[in-house]
Amino acid sequence: MARRADFQTAVDQFSDWRWRLNNLYWITDKSGRRVRFEMNWTQMTFFEEMHYLNVLLKARQLGLTTFIQIFMLDACVFNRDIRAGTIAHTLGDVQTIFRDKIKYPYDNLPDGIRNAVPVVRANQTELLLGNNSSIRVGTSLRSGTLQYLHISEYGKLCAKYPQKAREVRTGALNTVQAGQLVFVESTREGQEGHFYTLCEDGQVKQRQAAKLTELDFKFHFFPWWKEPQYAIAPEGVIVTDAFAKYFRNLADQGIALTDRQKAWYVKKAEYPSTPAEAFEASVEGAYYADQMAVADAEERIGVFPHVEGYPVDTISDIGMDDTNSVWLFQVLPGRVRMIGYFEHTGTGMDGMLDELERRGAEHGYVYGVHNMPHDIKVREWTRGGMTRIEVMLREVKARGLGTVRKIERAYVHDRINGTRRILAKIEFDQAGCIQGIKCLRNYRKDWDEDLSVFRDAPLHNWASHGADAFGGLAIIFTGLAPEPLKPHPVLRIMFLIEKIPRLAAPLGMDTLGEHFDVDVIGAGEATWALVLGRPSFGVEEITTLMEEHIDHGPAILKQWIELRARLTPFNRGTTDLTRFLDE
């Protein structure tokens, strides 16, 4: 009776996939010791939440590759006629995965299991078992005959070996059938490529709580703060203002950390907390990784909208593949503010000007200078042999969009080094420049597949157009400390409130507010009130409006206009006005 119960227990255990994974397999740990494989919290969570097609964004080494190999090996050992395969991005990874994560666990199975399911054929990449099941690892596989497919470090494959990635996409992934189990995993490698697209699409479905079919990918992400061991005593750990703000931002996203978790992160600070943060981390080989990290830390990427009173300039790149990239920016005192970015394809110069005109009308931009690359002098055959700059000058003048300037050509490395310098003076409006910021984060060195090193030259991909256009700023602002440009002439009136107190209060009256934007600016001992008038108002109309609310408005206004006519754009300063009003 006891023997029958033991037999039934054994049947129940060996029929339980979870029990088999936690009890039958042996691996080597990081210290090289032989240990029994038992699922950690990440592996257990993934096992329970597994879908048919799975895309896994790894924040760190979680043992998921090991788990997937043992999971597939177990399927082969305990089922007949199973085909499982793994695609790795290098031959070295192929051999390591097979040796350490497949062959070693099989060789350390209990003797009874290995005798029941012996090895028929084995080499450095494939294991064929006596039940006609097999598991293999290679740099390329076709999934048509596989029931289990694992693509390891697909993000790195997309970034460094784009041709191999295309083969995987058109071969293995394109032939996936309903009912197959697929695991695509990687650490982040920039905001590009098929792996990034799979993660983005999976997150959209996750946010929509969409019901997944057998051919939809399910997104998985395992952040550091879900690991129970990542916590230490907070005593003696100093949480700086930067960390405190970071933790507040996480709380705003619904991620509430304990003091012990915060203390651990302050000491480690090496793992992303969200999928977005993982993809925003610096890309290997990225030219501007350090500079963009500083911009993040200094909070120069955020809400930086258009500033009235300063012209909006543009800088562009004319792409060889008919993709043109345009940055919109303003030069403010001591800094350059990027307020917009867009790309246009297939519409030529007319399409670019149409978009600039639309944005100008929508946001009230007054355009200054459109900085164009050196090749704008190339002739446009469709315009009677006119050069591009001739065409653009004519069109810009006709539309009232400012003027055009050709920037000089610079060597690639001079442009890159200049861009690194100027980035310290740049602030980005995140909403307006989201795609352009991605270009700067992902502009990187080309990868030499044969030598497995980065070439000393940029990779020409989707990010290079936006980065090349931005690099023109380094040519314009050589040895930058940017000076403020001449304010737009809608600055109609300037009063020194300290000298004439009676003018201070009426500036905020409702009637004036219907016609003007009123800003009060402190400047040391003097306080200025800038009244921004609509361009359609003339001097007499402004005088009439002011006369209704300010006793001495008309007389002061007329004297100011006379003084303004005598001043050059760059010497309308406090000294001149103070002396004038003192008189």
Strand partners, 496: 528
Confidence of residue 407 (pLDDT cuts 50, 70, 90): confident
Cα angle, residue 162 at apex, residues 280 and 190 outer, rounded to 5° = 0
Instruction: Give which of 533, 527, 452 is closest to 490, Cα–Cα.
Output: 533
Confidence of residue 269 (pLDDT cuts 50, 70, 90): low
Give the C-alpha separation, 157 to 163, whole Å: 9
What was the pLDDT predicted at 451?
A: 60
What was the pLDDT predicted at 384?
A: 55
Which amino acid appears at position 329 of this protein?
A: F
Q: Count the neighbouring beta carbons within 10 Å of the beta carbon of residue 81.
A: 10
Strand partners, 392: none
- Would you call 506 exposed, middle or buried from its count of C-beta atoms within 10 A (0-12, 13-18, 19+)? middle
Q: What is the pLDDT of residues 33-52, one digit of tens each?
A: 999 999 998 999 999 999 99
pLDDT of 506 higher than 80: no
Q: Could you tell me which residues come within 8 angstroms of residue 137 by beta carbon, excluding any fewer than 6 positions away?
A: 85, 86, 87, 88, 94, 95, 97, 98, 102, 125, 126
Contact between 124 and 95 (Cβ < 8 Å): yes
Strand 53-58 versus strand 83-87 pairing type: unpaired
Q: What is the mean pLDDT of residues 568-576?
A: 32
Give the C-alpha separation, 176 to 193, whole Å: 19
Which amino acid appears at position 571 of this protein?
A: N
Confidence of residue 209 (pLDDT cuts 50, 70, 90): confident
pLDDT of 501 higher than 60: no
Which amino acid appears at position 179 of this protein?
A: G
Confidence of residue 149 (pLDDT cuts 50, 70, 90): very high
Give the C-alpha separation, 328 to 428, whole Å: 10
Highest mean pLDDT among 300-309, 460-469, 504-513: 300-309
* DSSP state at residue 174: T
pLDDT, the chain, mean: 77
Give the C-alpha separation, 525 to 221, whole Å: 56
Confidence of residue 358 (pLDDT cuts 50, 70, 90): very high
Give the C-alpha separation, 328 to 341, whole Å: 6
What was the pLDDT predicted at 22?
A: 96
In the block, residue with structure tokens 């990225």? 286
The region of weakest confidence among 91-105, 237-251, 319-333, 569-583 is 569-583
Give the helix ranges, DSSP H, for 217-274: 241-252, 259-268
Strand 312-318 versus strand 323-332 pairing type: antiparallel
Give the C-alpha separation, 96 to 75, whole Å: 21
Cα angle, residue 200 at apex, residues 194 and 204 outer, rounded to 5° = 145
3-state secondary structure of 56: strand
More confident site: 288 or 162: 288
Q: What is the pLDDT of residues 238-259, one digit of tens each?
A: 888 878 888 888 898 889 999 9
Instruction: Give which of 156, 401, 177 is closest to 285, Cα–Cα.
Output: 156
3-state secondary structure of 25: coil
pLDDT of 580 higher than 70: no
Give the C-alpha separation, 101 to 107, whole Å: 11
Give the C-alpha separation, 533 to 494, whole Å: 11
Give the C-alpha separation, 107 to 119, whole Å: 10
Query: Given CA atoms 178, 183, 188, 192 in this order, what sign does their dihedral have?
Result: negative
Q: Count the neighbouring beta carbons within 10 Å of the beta carbon of residue 174.
A: 11
Which amino acid appears at position 505 of this protein?
A: A
Domains detected in the chain: 23-222 (3.40.50.300), 228-281 (no CATH), 301-476 (3.30.420.280), 491-582 (no CATH)
Q: Dihedral of the CA atoms 449, 135, 105, 125 (nearest 10)?
A: -40
Give the C-alpha separation, 90 to 157, whole Å: 9
Stated as kind and residue range, the H or E segment containing 184 is strand 181-187
Query: Phi, psi (5° rounding) for residue 163?
Result: -65, -45
Q: Is the pTM of this model over 0.75?
A: no
Contact between 340 and 429 (Cβ < 8 Å): yes
Q: What is the mean pLDDT of residues 326-353?
A: 88
Confidence of residue 126 (pLDDT cuts 50, 70, 90): very high
Give the C-alpha separation, 434 to 531, whole Å: 33
Stated as kind and residue range, the H or E segment containing 181 is strand 181-187
What was the pLDDT predicted at 287?
A: 86
The region of weakest confidence among 2-16, 321-335, 427-441 is 2-16
pLDDT of 282 higher than 60: no
- Record the tokens describing residue 138, joined without a space: 């290679």
Instruction: Give which of 180, 195, 229, 206 is closest to 57, Cα–Cα.
Output: 195
- Record the tokens describing residue 70, joined without a space: 């043992």
What was the pLDDT predicted at 225?
A: 86
